[in-house]
Amino acid sequence: MQIQDLPFPDPGVPDARSGPRFLRWLFRHQLGGQLKSLAWGVLHFSAVCGLPFCVGLAVQAVVDRSGSGLAAAGGLMALCGAGIAVGDTFLHRAAVTNWITAAARVQQLLARRTAALGSALTRRVAAGEVVAVSTGDVEKIGWFVEALSRFTAAALTVVLVCVGLLVYQPALGIVVAVGVPVLALAVLPLLPRATRRADVQREKAGRATELASDTVAGLRVLRGIGGEELFLERYRRASQEVRHAAVRSARMWALIAAIQVLLPGLLLIGVVWYGVGLAREGRVTVGELVTVYSAVTLLTYPLRHFEEIAMAYSFSRPSAKRAARVLSLERATDTGGTREAVVPSGDLYDPATGLLAPAGRFTAVVCGDPDEAGRLAERLGGHPSEEGTSVLLGGVPLDELPLSCARTAVLVQDKDPVLLSGSLRELLDVPASGAVGPEEALAAAQCGDVLDSLVQGSLDAADPLDARITERGRSLSGGQRQRLALARSLLTDPQVLVLDEPTSAVDSHTEARIAEGVRSFRAGRTTVVFTTSPLLLDRAERVVLVHEGTVAAVGPHRDLVRTEPRYRAVVTRETDEEAAVRGVLAELEEIEETA
């Protein structure tokens, strides 16, 4: 796989049981690129560590006054130089390719998981955590996957050099062969503490990212209640905690780096001191001493990769753990499905609550608990209940349909729909039946004033559909965002449309027109609206009260207001005292009529 071939046709099914398993899965799926990086790394490091042998041969040739030996040493040195240049060039190319392809694979996996989970994702994982995984964590995971092959090449080179020195000069080679493993393993006792500090830093950084993301998302609300300073102070404290954790982590890594400098220096001193003694005794030549000294000096270059792989793993492990957590989330509806890809038709029925939405009718659902309404709306979209009960459409369980088929059949718009940045035309460029035009959908959602506002705020958009929408529609009011999202949902023209509080931020006059527009626009198609607004409820063909997880009453809005106290309490916000007074007045009226 080359960079120009991205994205992957199929990124695969990840092993998301844990962070380390996910990292191993990524490495296995890049085995070809890793082997290339390993081969070029061995060439590069071997050429670098081969220079001391060339230098030793040249020094010895000068001592022996051998012209042919000096020429041979020069030729070998030129060959090593070419190996260094070629190896470094292609090692860098292979390493960058491995890093980018690993990061791209993770991003594709996250994008697919996000698409599969839909709105259920942010109910299970904080939005800030998803942002952290898809940005900084992706880079750290790619870093470790890429660095692993370079570390392996460095380790092989160190072993080859030690073996070569043992063969070349056993007396000094034994010192190097014993000292180098000590250099490589000396920092091992410090790694657990460094890893723990890095984990703490990553955890605090993740919290700060979540807080920043949530604060920006709710900035309009914060300004409305004057809470900016409160949340800014919370973020200041969180960022200071990140800074302190980063400093503590950096101190540990600085200590590890210092040890990686100190110990090779001590080994060099030992080799020179012992080698000079052997040279005085005539047991080694000057060229051999220079060769061993230079080899030990250059060994510090591949040995640096031991520190890098430890750092890469300590930083990528929590990142991989977070990514695995997101990727392990499952949508109850089987993506592949166990039935044919045929969109069923008929009544929508939820066995868990007993809710029935007859085909082709406008049904309103009233829930006293907004969270319960959200869970029920999600279940109607194909997410079974915690007990595993699936919603039936025309008698067919939605979780047995392919994901694409289930979404064609039922579309759920939650209470906080997202508007992506771009033009209004791009916002409305969604999969649709083709039977509905953008103008019709916008008119049914009462978006006339929204279009005027967009045109006025745009410098070069004569057509409202070409007007730009800022990120998440933050330049629009809450009611304007709701209406544009409703128009987008109406444009898709699904067989079943489920709306969760679609007019909660709209004024009553506009809400009444939207209720009439949606009812006429969706005539003959199944529409379910979760709401407590009397204006919407009054225009519904059928109203269902869900109380404590089960259907408690069914009927027209006006009948339920008169006969069902629980319904009246939710819809009219009537208190117990007001209900008692109204009951007394009703009794008095009855007595008067009897008299």
Query: Which of 273-277, 457-461, 492-496 is predicted with the least confidence, judged by mean pLDDT?
Result: 457-461
pLDDT beyond 90 at 496: yes
pLDDT beyond 70 at 578: no
- What residues are paired with 444 via a beta bridge? none
What CA–CA distance (Å, rounded) separates 480 from 373?
23
Q: What is the pLDDT of residues 530-539, one digit of tens each?
A: 999 999 999 9
365: exposed, middle or buried (Cβ count in 10 Å: 0-12, 13-18, 19+): buried
Q: How far apart are the first and last CA of the chain?
A: 92
Band (pLDDT 50/70/90 cuts) for residue 592 is low
What CA–CA distance (Å, rounded) separates 299 from 225?
62
Q: Output the pLDDT for position 119.
A: 61
Distance of CA 264 to the CA centre of its chain: 41
Single pTM value for the model: 0.64
What CA–CA distance (Å, rounded) separates 453 from 466?
13
Q: What is the pLDDT of residues 331-381, one digit of tens each?
A: 655 445 555 557 788 899 998 899 999 999 999 999 988 888 888 888 888
Q: CA-CA distances (angstroms) from residue 225 to 89, 214, 219, 230, 332? A: 58, 16, 10, 11, 39
What CA–CA distance (Å, rounded) separates 144 from 312?
5
pLDDT beyond 90 at 417: no
221: exposed, middle or buried (Cβ count in 10 Å: 0-12, 13-18, 19+): exposed
Structure tokens at 94: 């292979």
Q: Which of 408, 409, 414, 385 is nearest to 395 (CA)?
A: 409
Ordered by start, the domain boundaries in the chain are: 12-327, 348-563
Q: CA-CA distances (angstroms) from residue 553 to 257, 367, 499, 566? A: 71, 11, 20, 9
Q: Does domain 12-327 have CATH number 3.40.50.1110?
A: no
Q: Output the pLDDT for position 546.
A: 93
pLDDT beyond 60 at 191: yes
337: left (phi over 0), alpha (psi -120 to 50) or beta: left
Would you say 246 and 280 are in contact if contact means Cβ atoms under 8 Å apart?
Answer: no
Band (pLDDT 50/70/90 cuts) for residue 202 is confident
What CA–CA distance (Å, rounded) separates 437 from 521?
12
Query: Which of 15-29, 293-307, 406-420, 460-474 is predicted with the least confidence, judged by mean pLDDT?
Result: 460-474
Q: What string of H, E and C letters represents the secondary structure of 28-57?
A: HCCHHHHHHHHHHHHHHHHHHHHHHHHHHH
| DSSP string covering 227-247 | -HHHHHHHHHHHHHHHHHHHH
Contacts of 488 (CB under 8 A, 6+ apart): 417, 427, 428, 430, 441
What CA–CA distance (Å, rounded) separates 284 from 293?
12
Helix, strand and coil percent figures for the chain, each rounded to 5: 70, 10, 25
Mean pLDDT of the chain: 82
Residue keyed to tokens 């929508």: 348
Beta strands in 474-585 (DSSP E): 496-500, 526-530, 542-547, 550-555
What CA–CA distance (Å, rounded) separates 508 from 505?
9
Band (pLDDT 50/70/90 cuts) for residue 78 is very high
Contacts of 187 (CB under 8 A, 6+ apart): 256, 259, 260, 306, 307, 310
Q: Output the pLDDT for position 89.
A: 94
Across 562-573, average pLDDT: 86
pLDDT beyond 80 at 241: yes
CATH hierarchy code of domain 348-563: 3.40.50.300
Across 268-287, average pLDDT: 84
Residue with the larger pLDDT of the pair 19 and 1: 19
Would you say 460 and 373 are in contact if contact means Cβ atoms under 8 Å apart?
Answer: no
Q: What is the pLDDT of residues 101-117, one digit of tens each?
A: 998 999 899 888 877 77
